[in-house]
């Protein structure tokens, strides 16, 4: 025999009730059907009662909605032959309910008992409707056999013995094929209406299954089964095929709403399996919960599921005198038990000098008061420190019986959350090793659940969440490359690039579910908000999303000023922007140290030589014990391009315009022409080589007079024309002598300089076409023949590719 429970989500509408009817009618033989109130009705009953007691006439509208919903489903699912009789019964109950609400309003009294009576109408009404909708069904009033008694601290608890006896008498003794009854409902020893607690219909069904020795208990809901995490929080959560009772219990106790926690015990005790099924997709296999250990496959994950509660307060009692003293914990728990405070996590270090317990926020004050009273003498003498409460926290539990076979799991877990800037405030793992629970700040809960789910369940697929700032040449190219490459990276490298923010200097669009980069222009125009760097910072930090990467493709000092805060919040930074790495030395150093301390990356490979592997190479040399002695470099693609295109018919001013049009220059070409861009790059190279240098340390032999650089960027090009003649002469002389002009950056024996040099055909810089860059590194190991790195050193495509490579290196994929 089967016991089937249909939750509020399954009996909420005509459509879902039609499915319920079909599912039940197709099952041959005897079955018990336990139903919840129509979805949302229990909450509506409570809300209506609260309006009535507050003398708020709006209760009548609320009551009218309750009436409407019930009448509508009768019209939709009860066969015509029984419709009038059902309507009459339901209307009678609804009238009673209306009178009760009126009484509550007139008396201004809503006792717990009255509220219990009011909520009972939910299941009383739904069970009458369902029993009339299903062919050949018999209705049973569960108030006549589900009995509660007073438990500790006045709570209603199931009177199992009496209930089992009454089920025998009131249900088993009768002939029926399909028994339909309301879940949740009960009566107490005095015959008053009570219930089994919110979500209690599952429990009713489990009690019935155990009492009737059913073959199976089926919990029908609106998802395909028990999932790896709450699907409303984690959109990649998926259905678990099999769970043991222990695993299900651990997950349900900790907020996995799909099954009410007390449900497991009665069926576990009788070894009756539970099957969680979807009313809206009955052919899906669902989740089977049983005693049999799941059939272990090599591909099985160590963790079966994650659940959480966001209502946590930690209460800590500390004393150096607690060490080795017997009975402190017993006093803590006895005192709390006497006051009815439920403790759901305990953590005590082996040093024994403090004990931390987790309670619900609502119990926090009582817990603190109770412990202060219990340890009043010790507190007065200063033996114990004051009892402290830390509120607004959340607890996460990761669960799985396979955890006990897996070493390094706790390490991976805490490393994963730590790298994402989530601080673990307390943790507990029982020796059964089926559950690791830990407490974090409530604001980080969503991030923690996502990052754990991502790294433990989708371990073959890693996610990077990107904020792309700057939609100039490089930013636009990067978005094109990402859009083209996204699918391939997912397919071949299991790397999911999820763009969660795009911003220009004026507009920004942010969405944690991901944005279509190919559509960036429309998104910014139609869905964007006005932004400033500070607004961008707030959007990134407030999203608080895991594995996040801030990609700066701007040339803005204000955006660069955000890095410190972002890195401190465990956001990786990839910068094409050179300002931070070449600016104030202390800032540069601090950014690198912050990244190291927070275990995130601050990468800026494209700051020198666009996509060429220069900074990574210098780092590899240094890390393997080499020493950089000398750097000679042509690192301005723009200047090299300009000197290469200069010709009798291409004067300097024209060459500058051509460089800008080809997308080689900085947004403001004066940054290139003034040598500032090369100075910055040289400083970055020397710093990465391990030297404490700044832009002021660079000897500057520039070729554009200082006064020409003042004023607006647009005027600059026309001013440059005044240099055309002089440059043409220089060019002619150089050509006659078979020499080429190069703007060279040099670091030699601690001395930094930049300047224009003419080189002859023997020099490695002589053949350097277009906008190419070249770097010569003389090191301890590359002394006689310096290492040469050469290639395209400017241009949106190669720079964006370098930025993309930095982003991908964060994921650490091969
Ligand atoms: N781990 C989980 N697996 C499946 N569902 C979950 C989980 N955690 C939370 N849920 C939520 O529980 C809901 C089902 O519970 P509930 O709304 O009480 O349904 P019912 O009315 O059928 O009893 C699902 O719609 C889902 O959003
Ligand atoms: N109707 C009750 C009992 C119940 O179990 O409902 P559901 O199965 O929809 O969670 C409640 O809302 O608490």
Condensed to tens digits (0 to 9), the pLDDT of residues 404-419 reads 877 888 888 998 899 8
Using the predicted structure, report yes or no on whether residue 383 has a pLDDT greater than 90.
no
- 608, 681 in Cβ contact below 8 A? yes
- In this structure, the strands spanning 751-759 and 740-748 are antiparallel
Q: What is the pLDDT of residue 814?
A: 54
pLDDT tens digits, 647-663: 989 999 999 999 989 88
Sign of the CA dihedral running 461, 466, 471, 474: negative
Q: Residue 452 is encoded by which pair of tokens?
A: 């754990």
Q: What is the pLDDT of residue 195?
A: 95
Q: What is the mean pLDDT of residues 452-479?
A: 88
Per the document, the length of the chain is 814
Q: What is the pLDDT of residue 20?
A: 97
Using the predicted structure, report yes or no on whether residue 778 has a pLDDT greater than 80.
yes
CB-ligand 1 contact for 8 (6 Å cutoff): yes
Local confidence band at 813 (pLDDT 50, 70, 90 cut-offs): low
Interatomic CA distance for residues 738 and 3, integer angstroms: 95
Interatomic CA distance for residues 579 and 607, integer angstroms: 9
CB-ligand 1 contact for 153 (6 Å cutoff): no
Within 8 A by CB and 6+ apart from 382, the residues are none
For 22, other C-beta atoms within 10 Å of its C-beta total: 12
For 265, other C-beta atoms within 10 Å of its C-beta total: 15
Q: What is the pLDDT of residue 350?
A: 73
CB-ligand 1 contact for 727 (6 Å cutoff): no
Q: Are 218 and 88 part of one and the same domain?
A: yes
Task: List the domain range (segments joined by +) for residue 696.
Answer: 614-794
Interatomic CA distance for residues 692 and 685, integer angstroms: 11
522 within some domain? yes
Q: Are 541 and 631 part of one and the same domain?
A: no
Q: What is the pLDDT of residue 463?
A: 87
Closest by Cα among 685, 580, 589, 709 to 636: 685
- 208, 362 in Cβ contact below 8 A? no
Residues acting as catalytic residues = 681
Local confidence band at 296 (pLDDT 50, 70, 90 cut-offs): low
450 within some domain? yes
Q: Are 676 and 788 part of one and the same domain?
A: yes
User: How far is the centre of ligand 1, averaged over its atoms, from the C-alpha of 289 (Å)?
Assistant: 16
* Nearest protein Cα to ligand 1, atom 23: 7
Burial of residue 632 (CB within 10 Å: 0-12, 13-18, 19+) is buried
Lowest model confidence (mean pLDDT) among 63-67, 229-233, 538-542: 229-233
Q: What is the pLDDT of residue 459?
A: 54
Nearest ligand 1 atom to alpha carbon 251: 1
CB-ligand 1 contact for 223 (6 Å cutoff): yes
Q: Residue 778 is encoded by which pair of tokens?
A: 């003389």
- DSSP code at position 704: S
CATH code of the domain containing 189: 3.40.1160.10
Ligand 2 site residues, Cβ closer than 6 angstroms: 7-8, 36-37, 42, 122, 183-184, 198-202
Q: What is the mean pLDDT of residues 605-631?
A: 96
Using the predicted structure, report yes or no on whether residue 336 has a pLDDT greater than 60.
yes
Interatomic CA distance for residues 642 and 639, integer angstroms: 5
Q: Residue 412 is encoded by which pair of tokens?
A: 């991976």
Q: Helix, strand, coil: what percent of the chain each, to 5? A: 45, 20, 30
Interatomic CA distance for residues 814 and 600, integer angstroms: 19
Q: Are 397 and 335 part of one and the same domain?
A: yes
For 407, other C-beta atoms within 10 Å of its C-beta total: 8
As for how many domains the chain has, the answer is 4
Nearest ligand 1 atom to alpha carbon 7: 22
Closest by Cα among 210, 410, 389 to 316: 389
Show which of 455, 473, 500 is a domain's final residue: 455
pLDDT tens digits, 752-777: 999 999 999 999 999 998 889 999 99
For 269, other C-beta atoms within 10 Å of its C-beta total: 12
Closest by Cα among 154, 53, 106 to 45: 53
Q: What is the mean pLDDT of residues 383-393?
A: 92
CB-ligand 1 contact for 221 (6 Å cutoff): yes
Q: What is the pLDDT of residue 149?
A: 95
Q: Residue 588 is encoded by which pair of tokens?
A: 């540069």
Share of the chain above pLDDT 90, in %: 78
Q: Residue 74 is encoded by which pair of tokens?
A: 């009768």
CA 248, 253, 259 angle in degrees (round to 5)? 60
Q: Are 448 and 369 part of one and the same domain?
A: yes
- DSSP code at position 598: H
Q: Are 468 and 407 part of one and the same domain?
A: no
Nearest ligand 2 atom to alpha carbon 200: 5
Interatomic CA distance for residues 45 and 123, integer angstroms: 11
pLDDT tens digits, 232-278: 888 888 999 999 999 999 899 887 888 998 999 999 999 999 999 99
Interatomic CA distance for residues 686 and 589, integer angstroms: 13
Show which of 168, 193, 222 is a domain's final residue: 222
Interatomic CA distance for residues 510 and 527, integer angstroms: 9
The 3-class SS string of 631-674 reads EEEECCHHHHHHHHHCECCECHHHHHHHHHHCCCCCCCCHHHHC
Q: Pick 408 or 600 by higher pLDDT.
A: 600
- In this structure, the strands spanning 31-35 and 178-182 are parallel
Q: Residue 346 is encoded by which pair of tokens?
A: 């305990």
Q: Are 630 and 724 part of one and the same domain?
A: yes
Q: Residue 239: nearest ligand to its CA?
A: 1
* Nearest protein Cα to ligand 2, atom 8: 7
259 within some domain? no
Using the predicted structure, report yes or no on whether residue 515 has a pLDDT greater than 60.
yes
Q: Residue 720 is encoded by which pair of tokens?
A: 């440059």
Residue 109, SS3 per DSSP: coil
Q: Are 32 and 164 part of one and the same domain?
A: yes
- 499, 518 in Cβ contact below 8 A? no
CATH code of the domain containing 631: 3.30.360.10
Q: Residue 368 is encoded by which pair of tokens?
A: 């603190």
User: How far is the centre of ligand 1, averaged over its atoms, from the C-alpha of 306 (Å)?
Assistant: 14
Maximum Cα interatomic distance, the chain, rounded to a whole number of Å: 116
Q: Residue 185: nearest ligand to its CA?
A: 2
Nearest ligand 1 atom to alpha carbon 222: 25
User: How far is the centre of ligand 2, averaged over its atoms, from the C-alpha of 38 (Å)?
Assistant: 9
Interatomic CA distance for residues 617 and 791, integer angstroms: 14
247 within some domain? no
CA 42, 43, 45 angle in degrees (round to 5)? 65
284 within some domain? no
Q: What is the pLDDT of residue 555?
A: 93
Lowest model confidence (mean pLDDT) among 6-20, 594-608, 714-728: 714-728
Interatomic CA distance for residues 774 and 636, integer angstroms: 9
Interatomic CA distance for residues 398 and 413, integer angstroms: 9
Average pLDDT, the chain: 93
* Nearest protein Cα to ligand 1, atom 20: 7
CB-ligand 1 contact for 248 (6 Å cutoff): no
Nearest ligand 1 atom to alpha carbon 307: 1
Name the phi and psi angles at 440, rounded to 5. -135, 175
* Nearest protein Cα to ligand 1, atom 13: 258
For 575, other C-beta atoms within 10 Å of its C-beta total: 26
Q: How far is CA 786 from the centre of its chain?
A: 48
Q: What is the b/e burial string over 426-441, where b = at least 16 CB atoms within 10 angstroms of the residue's CB? A: bbbbeeebbbbbbbbb
Show which of 222, 244, 272 is a domain's final residue: 222
Closest by Cα among 590, 558, 552, 557 to 572: 552
768 within some domain? yes
Q: In terms of pTM, does the model score above 0.80? A: no
Q: Are 449 and 566 part of one and the same domain?
A: no
Pocket test for ligand 1, best of 221, 306, 308, 397 (most atoms within 8 A of CB): 221
CATH code of the domain containing 553: 3.40.50.720
Residues in a beta bridge with 550: 467, 573
pLDDT tens digits, 726-743: 999 999 999 999 999 999
Q: What is the pLDDT of residue 464?
A: 93
Token pair 């919840």 is found at 36
Residue 300, SS3 per DSSP: coil
Nearest ligand 1 atom to alpha carbon 221: 22
- 380, 272 in Cβ contact below 8 A? no
Using the predicted structure, report yes or no on whether residue 207 has a pLDDT greater than 80.
yes
Q: Residue 634 is encoded by which pair of tokens?
A: 């042509």
Q: Are 45 and 180 part of one and the same domain?
A: yes
Pocket test for ligand 2, best of 10, 11, 42, 124 (most atoms within 8 A of CB): 42
Q: What is the mean pLDDT of residues 179-195?
A: 96
User: How far is the centre of ligand 1, averaged over its atoms, from the C-alpha of 258 (Å)?
Assistant: 4
Q: What is the pLDDT of residue 607?
A: 96
Q: Are 66 and 174 part of one and the same domain?
A: yes
243 within some domain? no
CB-ligand 1 contact for 626 (6 Å cutoff): no
Within 8 A by CB and 6+ apart from 490, the residues are 461, 496, 497
CATH code of the domain containing 443: 3.30.2130.10
- 378, 321 in Cβ contact below 8 A? yes
Interatomic CA distance for residues 758 and 646, integer angstroms: 14
Interatomic CA distance for residues 395 and 309, integer angstroms: 5
The 3-class SS string of 344-361 reads CEEEECCCCCEEEEEECH
239 within some domain? no
Local confidence band at 442 (pLDDT 50, 70, 90 cut-offs): very high
Q: Are 411 and 469 part of one and the same domain?
A: no
Q: What is the mean pLDDT of residues 568-581?
A: 97
Q: What is the pLDDT of residue 462?
A: 82
Q: What is the mean pLDDT of residues 575-583?
A: 97
* Nearest protein Cα to ligand 2, atom 6: 199
Token pair 């990574």 is found at 616
Interatomic CA distance for residues 656 and 642, integer angstroms: 6
Within 8 A by CB and 6+ apart from 165, the residues are none
Local confidence band at 297 (pLDDT 50, 70, 90 cut-offs): low
CA 724, 726, 732 angle in degrees (round to 5)? 100
Residues in a beta bridge with 358: 314, 345
pLDDT tens digits, 525-559: 999 999 999 999 999 999 989 899 999 999 999 99
Q: Residue 262 is encoded by which pair of tokens?
A: 């007390």
């Amino acid at each position: 025999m089967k016991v089937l429970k249909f939750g509020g989500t399954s009996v909420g509408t005509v459509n879902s009730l039609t499915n319920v009817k079909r599912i039940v009618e197709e099952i041959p033989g005897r079955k018990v059907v336990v139903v919840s109130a129509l979805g949302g009705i229990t909450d509506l009953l409570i809300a209506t009662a609260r309006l009535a007691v507050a003398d708020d006439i709006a209760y009548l509208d609320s009551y009218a909605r309750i009436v409407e919903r019930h009448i509508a489903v009768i019209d939709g699912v009860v066969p015509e032959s029984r419709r009038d009789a059902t309507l009459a019964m339901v209307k009678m109950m609804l009238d009673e309910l209306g009178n009760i609400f009126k009484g509550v309003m007139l008396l201004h009294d809503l006792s717990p008992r009255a509220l219990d009576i009011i909520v009972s109408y939910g299941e009383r009404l739904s069970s009458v409707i369902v029993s009339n909708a299903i062919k050949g069904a018999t209705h049973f009033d569960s108030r006549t056999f589900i009995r509660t008694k007073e438990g500790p601290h006045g709570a209603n608890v199931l009177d199992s013995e009496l209930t089992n006896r009454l089920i025998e008498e009131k249900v088993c003794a009768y002939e029926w094929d399909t028994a339909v009854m309301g879940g949740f409902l009960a009566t107490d020893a005095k015959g008053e209406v009570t219930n089994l607690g919110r979500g209690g219909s599952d429990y009713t069904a489990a009690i019935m299954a155990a009492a009737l020795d059913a073959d199976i208990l089926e919990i029908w809901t609106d998802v395909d089964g028990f999932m790896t995490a709450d699907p409303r929080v984690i959109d990649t959560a998926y259905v678990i095929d099999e769970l043991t009772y222990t695993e299900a219990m651990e997950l349900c106790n900790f907020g996995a709403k799909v099954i009410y926690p007390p449900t497991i015990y009665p069926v576990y005790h009788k070894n009756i399996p539970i099957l969680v099924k979807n009313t809206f997709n009955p052919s899906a296999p669902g989740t089977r919960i049983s005693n049999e250990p799941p059939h272990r496959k090599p591909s099985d994950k160590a963790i079966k599921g994650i659940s959480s509660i966001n209502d946590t307060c930690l209460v800590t009692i500390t004393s150096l005198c607690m060490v080795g003293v017997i009975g402190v914990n017993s006093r803590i728990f006895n005192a709390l038990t006497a006051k009815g405070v439920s403790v759901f996590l305990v953590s005590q270090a082996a040093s024994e000098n403090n004990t931390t317990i987790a309670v619900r926020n609502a119990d926090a004050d009582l817990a603190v008061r109770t412990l202060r009273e219990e340890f009043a003498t010790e507190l007065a003498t200063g033996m114990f420190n004051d009892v402290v409460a830390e509120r607004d926290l959340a607890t996460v539990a990761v669960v799985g019986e396979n955890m006990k076979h897996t070493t390094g799991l706790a390490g991976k877990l805490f490393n994963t959350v730590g790298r994402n800037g989530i601080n673990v405030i307390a943790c507990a793992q029982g020796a059964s090793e089926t559950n690791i629970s830990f407490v974090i700040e409530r604001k980080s809960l969503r991030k923690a659940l996502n990052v754990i789910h991502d790294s433990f369940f989708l371990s073959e697929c890693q996610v990077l969440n990107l904020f792309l700032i700057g939609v100039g040449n490089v930013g636009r190219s990067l978005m094109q490359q990402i859009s083209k490459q996204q699918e391939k990276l997912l397919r071949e490298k299991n790397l999911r690039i999820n763009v969660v923010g795009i911003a220009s200097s004026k507009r920004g669009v942010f969405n944690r579910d991901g944005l279509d980069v190919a559509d960036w222009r429309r998104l910014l125009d139609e869905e964007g908000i006005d932004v400033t760097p500070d607004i961008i910072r707030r959007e990134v930090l407030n999203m608080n999303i895991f594995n996040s990467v801030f990609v700066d493709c701007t040339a803005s000092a204000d955006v660069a000023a955000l890095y410190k805060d972002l890195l401190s919040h465990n956001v990786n930074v990839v910068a094409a922007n050179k300002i931070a790495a070449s600016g104030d030395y202390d800032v540069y150093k601090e950014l690198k140290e912050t990244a190291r301390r927070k275990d995130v990356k601050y990468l800026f490979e494209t700051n020198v030589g666009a996509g060429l592997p220069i900074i990574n190479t210098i780092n590899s040399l240094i890390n393997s014990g080499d020493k950089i002695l000398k750097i000679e470099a042509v690192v301005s693609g723009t200047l090299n391009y300009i000197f290469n295109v200069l010709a009798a018919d291409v004067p300097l001013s024209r060459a500058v315009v051509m460089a800008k049009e080809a997308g080689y220059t900085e947004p403001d070409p004066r940054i290139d022409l003034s040598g500032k861009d090369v100075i910055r790059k040289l400083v970055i190279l020397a710093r990465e080589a391990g030297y404490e240098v700044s832009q002021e340390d660079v000897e500057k032999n520039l070729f554009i007079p200082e006064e020409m650089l003042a004023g607006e960027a647009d005027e600059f090009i026309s001013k440059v024309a005044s240099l055309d003649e002089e440059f043409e002469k220089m060019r002619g002389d150089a050509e006659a002598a078979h020499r080429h002009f190069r703007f060279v950056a040099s670091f030699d024996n601690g001395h930094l300089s930049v300047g224009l040099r003419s080189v002859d055909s023997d020099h490695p810089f002589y053949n350097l076409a277009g906008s190419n860059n070249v770097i010569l590194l003389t090191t301890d190991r590359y002394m006689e023949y310096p290492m040469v790195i050469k290639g395209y050193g400017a241009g949106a495509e190669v720079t964006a590719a370098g930025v993309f490579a930095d982003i991908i290196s964060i994921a650490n994929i091969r």
